[in-house]
Chains A and B, each alone.
Chain A
Amino acid sequence: MVTVTPGVIIEGDVPEVFVPESRHGLRHRIHVGRAIVLLIAGVYFLTPIYAALHFALENDQNHFSFSPLTSIPSQPGLGSAFWLSMRLAGVTMVVAMGLMVPTVVYMHLKVPKLKPLFETITLLPIVIPPIVLILGVLPSSPLWLKSSPYLLSLVYVILVMPFVYRSLAAGLGAIDLHTLVEASRSLGASWFRTLWSVVIPNLRSALLSATVLSLALVLGEYTMASLDGWQTIPVWIVATSQNDGHVTVAVAMLSLIATWVLLTLIVSLDRSQSRRTLKRKQS
């Protein structure tokens, strides 16, 4: 089904079920089946959200209260955990982008036959799960690096590679990279300037979605941070859960809402981007 509003295609191609008109009994059964599937999903996915919201807005006497929420900023240790997580995320993003953007752009431009190799390599972090990777990273890092929290950032760069590569490849596939680069070069721009003021602005939405997905991953990463002994936000949450369950659940709900807002942002940006491309192609 394609919904067309003036000039803009909103939804993709989704087939409708074909149900023979003559067999009402069957049709009825199918409708009931569909309703049951949706009902189970609704109950399973919404009950925990409702229960957690309820729990997060309760004080120790089980009365409604905003105190778990309002006491979050003054929790001991949260400030430094937040600051550490932010620094780790910042370093991770700078290194990941600085490493991946020039490399992937160059690969698309000059050696596109390496695409399958890049696809395979950037999927390896999925084969080697974080719990196993940190097992190998700790004994193989030099001492000066092991005593620094930024070891985590360097490993997180590996973890976010699949997301960054996938976003970049999609973004590069949507623009005419060769023409852009040739135009810029023939007007006398250096390679650096071409990358910085021509290619990167055209990859804005791809870079943004890569950043948001990576940030969500880095800020929520518990496995490596806890085993490397650094108190980032998730490690702090687990450590605090023994003291006050209400505050813990309040923080958990806040992070769910933050993830929701960020991902909705990507989806809407993606949509506006594809609308613009579509308009450009139509005109």
Chain B
Amino acid sequence: MTTQPHTLPTDASSSPSGVGGEGAARSSRRAWRSLRTSLPLVPFFAYVLVGLGVPTIVIVNLAFRNNQGHLSLQNIKAITSGGQYLLGFESSLKLAAVTAIVPAIFGTLLAYVVATSKFALLRRLVATASGVFANFGGVNLAFIFIATVGYTGLATSFLSHFGLNPWNHGFDLYRITGVELVYFYFQIPLMVLIITPAIGGLKESWREAAQNLGASSWKYWRYVGLPVLMPSVLGSTLLLFGSGLSAYATAEALTGGTIALTPIQIGAVLNGNVLANETNIGYALGFIMIVMMLISMVGYFFLQRRASRWLR
């Protein structure tokens, strides 16, 4: 699957460098050259097309087919008309919102406290720890939390000495509150990782300028600090939203697939747990999910670009 480097065009001038061309013969020669220039990129684009494009097309296509293979809105209607799949989307969106907004606020505070701390060791420790924890999703996280706040977990038995057993106060690790608590564990570090550069971009001279003009600390944050940080914070929140929406492994390992979240439901459909007259419902779920991810990621890129104005 590798490109063959010795077939690369050896003439450096063959790159389409935008030299003004006149005449049909010349422009067709240029078209031929630019074709030859892009030839070595073909394996990569072909791989992306087959590995990412084709599966996406299959999902979109099958999402709009009924059991007989005819074009129809049957699957989408089955989801939006209520029942377990609509409930799944409601819980998934709520879970994604909670595990985006809370870690976004707390992650920003934490990143600010750490970035402005006098201790270089703390800064470095938090930077490495964020990298590790942000990558530490998956099934292992579920088991570590079961050992901690599971029914017989260490923190549970410690707290119940004080009569504060969380399980007696409405907490259940294997339901939505538990999944939220576990997701925070990789969402907060992810937020710290992506918001720290933006906090580093708050220039000391701005604060001094505000101070010299007579602004209080509150006024500095209200009119300078927050407006500059806001696009980054909102963009990062959308990224966290997408990450919480699409997570599967942790919730599956934690609840054994008993929780009504869209990714879990897609997994159940793939495992064959689906009504006979709804064979294509999984693709419709996947299609709606792609649309939601697309919206949040486009929002993220737009806000990131807006934010990068101040990060020079």
**Once the chains bind, are A47 and B148 in contact (CB under 8 Å)?**
yes
**In this complex, which of B120, B136, B147, B154 has the most chain A Cβ atoms within 10 angstroms of its Cβ?**
B147
Distance from B289 Cβ to chain A, minimum over Cβ atoms (Å): 5
**Once the chains bind, are B217 and A26 in contact (CB under 8 Å)?**
yes
**In this complex, which of A3, A19, A131, A263 has the most chain B Cβ atoms within 10 angstroms of its Cβ?**
A131
Known: A15-B116, A222-B139. A37 touches B109 (CB 8 A): yes
Report, nearest first, the 5 A-B pairs whose CB atoms are least far apart: A136-B55, A129-B246, A252-B140, A51-B154, A55-B147
**Once the chains bind, are B184 and A44 in contact (CB under 8 Å)?**
yes
Residues of A at the B interface (CB closer than 8 Å) are 3, 10-20, 26, 34, 37-38, 40-41, 44-45, 47-52, 54-56, 95, 98-100, 102-103, 106-107, 110-111, 114, 121, 123-140, 154-155, 157-158, 161, 185, 190-192, 194-195, 213, 216-217, 220-223, 226-227, 234, 237-238, 241, 245, 248-249, 251-253, 255-256, 259-260, 263-264, 267
Q: Chain B 123-147, CB within 8 Å of chain A: the 1/0 string? A: 1100111011101111111011111
Task: Write 11 A-B pairs (CB below 8 A) sorted by A numbering.
Answer: A10-B120, A37-B109, A51-B148, A102-B3, A129-B246, A130-B248, A131-B263, A136-B286, A140-B58, A220-B138, A241-B253
Contacts of A37 in B (CB 8 A): 106, 109-110, 113
**Once the chains bind, are B153 and A51 in contact (CB under 8 Å)?**
yes
Distance from A225 Cβ to chain B, minimum over Cβ atoms (Å): 10
Distance from A25 Cβ to chain B, minimum over Cβ atoms (Å): 12
Contacts of A103 in B (CB 8 A): 3, 40-41, 43-44
A16 to B119, CA, bound (A): 11
Q: Nearest CB to that of B270 among chain A residues? A: A227
**Once the chains bind, are B144 and A135 in contact (CB under 8 Å)?**
no
Surface stretch bound by A, among B71-79, B160-168, B198-206: B198-206
Known contacts A249-B144, A256-B136; 13 additional CB pairs below 8 A are A44-B188, A48-B155, A52-B147, A107-B41, A110-B9, A123-B297, A124-B48, A126-B297, A127-B293, A220-B137, A222-B249, A223-B252, A255-B140
A136 to B146, CA, bound (A): 32
Q: Chain B 185-205, CB within 8 Å of chain A: the 1/0 string? A: 100100000000000101110
**Which residue of A132, A191, A238 is within 8 Å of B8 (Cβ)?**
A191
**Which residue of A50, A51, A138, A267 is within 8 Å of B270 (Cβ)?**
A138
Known: A18-B207, A129-B246, A132-B286. A252 touches B143 (CB 8 A): yes
Known: A51-B148, A127-B294, A252-B143. A135 touches B15 (CB 8 A): no
Main secondary structure of the interface of A (DSSP, over half): helix
**Once the chains bind, are B116 and A17 in contact (CB under 8 Å)?**
yes
**Once the chains bind, are A220 and B140 in contact (CB under 8 Å)?**
yes
Contacts of A26 in B (CB 8 A): 217
Known: A99-B2, A106-B8, A234-B139. A129 touches B55 (CB 8 A): no
**In this complex, which of A49, A127, A217, A263 has the most chain B Cβ atoms within 10 angstroms of its Cβ?**
A127
Q: Chain B 103-117, CB within 8 Å of chain A: the 1/0 string? A: 000100110011111
**Once the chains bind, are A267 and B136 in contact (CB under 8 Å)?**
no
Q: Is B228 an interface residue (CB 8 A)?
A: no
Contacts of B143 in A (CB 8 A): 52, 237, 241, 245, 248-249, 252
Contacts of A125 in B (CB 8 A): 52
Q: Nearest CB to that of A139 among chain B residues? A: B58
Contacts of B115 in A (CB 8 A): 14-15
Q: Nearest CB to that of B145 among chain A residues? A: A48
A213 to B132, CA, bound (A): 11
**Once the chains bind, are B1 and A216 in contact (CB under 8 Å)?**
no
Residues of chain B in range 27-69 having any CB-CB distance to chain A below 8 Å = 37-38, 40-41, 43-44, 47-48, 51-52, 54-59, 62
Known: A14-B116, A158-B48, A255-B140. A55 touches B154 (CB 8 A): yes
Contacts of A138 in B (CB 8 A): 270
